[in-house]
Amino acid sequence: MARIELHDLGKRYPASKDRGCWALRHATLTAAQGELLVLVGPSGAGKTTLLRLLAGLEEPTEGTITLDGRPMNGVPPGDRDIAMVFQNSALYPHLTVSENIGLGLRLRKVPKAQIELRVREAAALLGLEGCLDRRPAALSGGERQRVAIGRALVRQPAVFLFDEPLSNLDTPRRLQMRAEILRLHDRLGATMIYVTHDQGDAQAMGDRLVVLNQGVIQQTAAPLALYHQPANLFVAGFIGSPPMNVFRGIINAKEGSLWLQSEAAAKNGTPAIFLQLPQELTKPLERFAGKAVFCGIRAEQVACVPQTVPAGQGGMGIVERTEPAGADTCLRLRLGEEGRDQIMARVPVNSRWEREEAVFFRIDPRQACFFDPATGDNILHAESCHAICLSLFRPFC
């Protein structure tokens, strides 16, 4: 097990004589000993670049990398005690499974008896005992990926790096391999950093998730914290299936309370969504009174009901279409007559709603997120972080 620390790490690729492209910028991050840390984000977010910097396949333009307190900048890949599993299994077709797994050890002049022992141990751990004499062409996609993991495993490294190892597998094999990697992590207790663009895999696997976009870390948190309290609009839209509903509204102060009304209006001119905000939200949101904010709510937190809801507790939408999703159904609701604003509601699979039918729904503002339209930041997340910082540093003031 090892502890990895990145401080202000960045990588810039030259694009022309006087311009460059930053693939990663100001990345500061710590992976604890034995942690399974997942890097997630869209294509081009900087995930693989960060992994290659850790492995020593690229040198950083700025910042530092340390492994258990030892600086890694400038250290060759072979001396970093790090093993990497790539998206493509990259097996040698003329070698058997046993030879592919043990190749790295043979290149390091490890004694033959020790190589055979480690190969057998890795094969038993990965369920490859019956495949050791086969060549890659005789293996399934999942088996080939397990061989690639075994090749990293026999090195007994301090850190495992996985670069989208499941992206070439179909869904059943991907789920199986996902479970095997988690089981492997539990048995070894090793530090692992796993890269994926699939936020479903990320949420299922990671002790913590690191969300990147355009080379910048957006948020680092446990999966549920990331899901319920995204740091900004990008995270809210990227994490979750369907993504978080976000609509624009105006906050008004009235009779000692704050009220949120959507900009989208129903046919009679009333707001499509009208919410009375609880007292605990008054302080963080009072500076936005008379101004616009973005309100975010998850689909399962939009409770559809057959009758009108009391004023200040929800709103009304028109069913644009239904989307069956196995155990439940997603309703896509149009807010207002123009249809520019929509929200998704998750309802039981036996619910019956017709297209163009009016649907009333309740929303609990305590479950909502509020985003600053100027910065995209989560207003309540920023307030809680500020409060935590004050509590930490107040004894030193």
Does the pLDDT of residue 260 top 80, yes or no? yes
Model confidence pLDDT, tens digit, residues 28-64: 999 999 999 999 999 989 999 999 999 999 999 999 9
Model confidence pLDDT, tens digit, residues 134-160: 999 999 888 888 899 899 989 888 999
Percent of all residues in the chain with a pLDDT value above 70, rounded to a whole number: 93
Please state, in angstroms and rounded to a whole number, the distance separating the CA atoms of residues 177 and 25. 32
Better-predicted residue by pLDDT, 255 or 215: 215
**Extents of the domains making up the chain:** 4-238, 245-388
Model confidence pLDDT, tens digit, residues 155-170: 888 999 999 888 877 8
pLDDT band per the 50, 70, 90 thresholds, residue 330: very high
pLDDT band per the 50, 70, 90 thresholds, residue 99: very high
Please state, in angstroms and rounded to a whole number, the distance separating the CA atoms of residues 3 and 31. 6
**For position 387, what pLDDT does the model report?**
41
Tokens of 56: 């020593």
Please name which of 345, 349, 350 lies closest in space to residue 361, comparing C-alpha atoms.
345
CATH of domain 4-238: 3.40.50.300
Rounded mean pLDDT of 68-73? 93
Asked if residues 230 and 219 have their Cβ atoms less than 8 Å apart, the reply is yes
Q: What is the mean pLDDT of the chain?
A: 88
**For position 264, what pLDDT does the model report?**
87
Does the pLDDT of residue 73 top 90, yes or no? yes
Asked if residues 262 and 341 have their Cβ atoms less than 8 Å apart, the reply is yes
**For position 165, what pLDDT does the model report?**
87
Does the pLDDT of residue 389 top 70, yes or no? no
Please state, in angstroms and rounded to a whole number, the distance separating the CA atoms of residues 50 and 58. 9
Please state, in angstroms and rounded to a whole number, the distance separating the CA atoms of residues 335 and 264. 6
**For position 17, what pLDDT does the model report?**
55
Q: Strands (DSSP E) along the chain, which ranges?
A: 4-14, 20-31, 36-40, 62-67, 70-71, 82-85, 159-163, 191-196, 208-213, 216-221, 245-254, 257-262, 273-277, 292-297, 303-305, 313-325, 328-335, 341-348, 358-362, 369-371
pLDDT band per the 50, 70, 90 thresholds, residue 173: confident
Does the pLDDT of residue 15 top 80, yes or no? no
Measured from the Cβ of residue 384, the count of other Cβ atoms closer than 10 Å reads 13
Model confidence pLDDT, tens digit, residues 278-316: 999 999 999 999 999 999 999 999 999 888 888 889 999
pLDDT band per the 50, 70, 90 thresholds, residue 384: low
Give the homologous superfamily in CATH for domain 245-388.
Nucleic acid-binding proteins (2.40.50.140)
**For position 155, what pLDDT does the model report?**
87
**For position 383, what pLDDT does the model report?**
53
**For position 187, what pLDDT does the model report?**
87
Does the pLDDT of residue 394 top 60, yes or no? no
**For position 227, what pLDDT does the model report?**
95
